[in-house]
Chain A
């Protein structure tokens, strides 16, 4: 489905997502119109879901990041849907994943400081429905973040 040109565009773009279609065209050595058309086609095919700006929450005063590993009480009907709908309403939840494994769900939760975290945890997290077990991993540092794939 993808040809060489698509792959070259995605490889280049992944390495530097700040590039515009014109930048990409210049870097790859193709007409800008061709690159723009290819990008449009990748979007239509659903390969490219979007280009997002990344917010640095620490720059906004959120110093604490916690990875919450949740096991749900699966005997409750629609436990996943109910839990997820409620978690989406907590503004400090920035990511949510579901898994096959020991952990059912994972949330990334940010807080301004430990006092804020404590009140969030008590009032907004532990009150989420159908939690059987919950475990927190406190984020210390990101060692590697590499969103590039060997396409």
Chain B
């Protein structure tokens, strides 16, 4: 798509923090009329820059007190099918995100559990039982922030 101009960037900053605003409210926040803001929002959606919306929930208040990031190295690379591993890991409901990465680990997982015993159960019964799983490193999430990025 054509490069973003300052108004586009201002719009992205606004909707990044609040996606429920009307086109009129977005326009007021960045100094555009309602139709102008609406046109730009539609263009940002059509070109795929705005991919959709996301709810930000307080997981602890919903009873999910523990989030752990796991680094997983496959034990016998070449012999294990990546497809088999990916299918099996994606089927675990507590695993909320799986990224295939290059480096010290092969996969990066985000796991959400009710508490530490619940996490231990997921780790032992599900993660360690995955086909081809090798070294696993766990880091317990303490805090998290999302930043606006280069806009």
Interface residues of A (CB under 8 A from B): 1-2, 10, 13-14, 17-18, 20, 45-57, 59-60, 62, 67, 88, 91-103, 106, 110, 135-147, 149-151
Q: Which residues of B contact A95 (CB under 8 A)?
A: 144-147
Distance, CA A135 to CA B108, complexed state (A)? 14
Q: A54-B50, A94-B147 are in contact. Are A149 and B64 (CB under 8 A)?
A: yes
Per the bound structure, the CA–CA distance linking A57 and B140 in Å amounts to 27
How far apart are the CA atoms of A46 and B61 in the complex, in Å?
8
B81 at interface, CB cutoff 8 A: no
Q: Is the CB of B86 within 8 A of A143?
A: yes
Known: A135-B103, A137-B103, A143-B99. A94 touches B15 (CB 8 A): no
Docked Cα-Cα span, A67 to B97, in Å, equals 14
Interface residues of B, CB < 8 Å — how many?
Answer: 60
Shortest distance from the beta carbon of A12 to any chain B beta carbon, whole Å: 11
Contacts of B102 in A (CB 8 A): 137-138, 140
Q: B34 within 8 Å of A by Cβ? A: no
Identify which of B16, B48, B143 contacts A53 (C-beta below 8 A): B16
Residues of chain A within 8 A (CB-CB) of B33 are none
Beyond the given A67-B108, A101-B140, A139-B99, could you list 12 further A-B residue pairs with CB under 8 A, ordered by the A residue number?
A10-B55, A52-B54, A55-B51, A91-B148, A94-B147, A95-B146, A96-B144, A97-B141, A142-B99, A143-B99, A146-B96, A151-B62
Q: Which of A48, A100, A102 contacts B137 (CB 8 A)?
A: A102
In the assembled complex, which residues on chain B have CB atoms less than 8 Å from the CB atom of A20? 20
CA distance A58 to B15 in the complex (A): 18
What residue in chain A is nearest B114 (Cβ atoms)? A150
Contacts A45-B61, A149-B59 given; does A138 touch B103 at CB 8 Å: yes
- CB <8 Å contact, A53 and B140: no
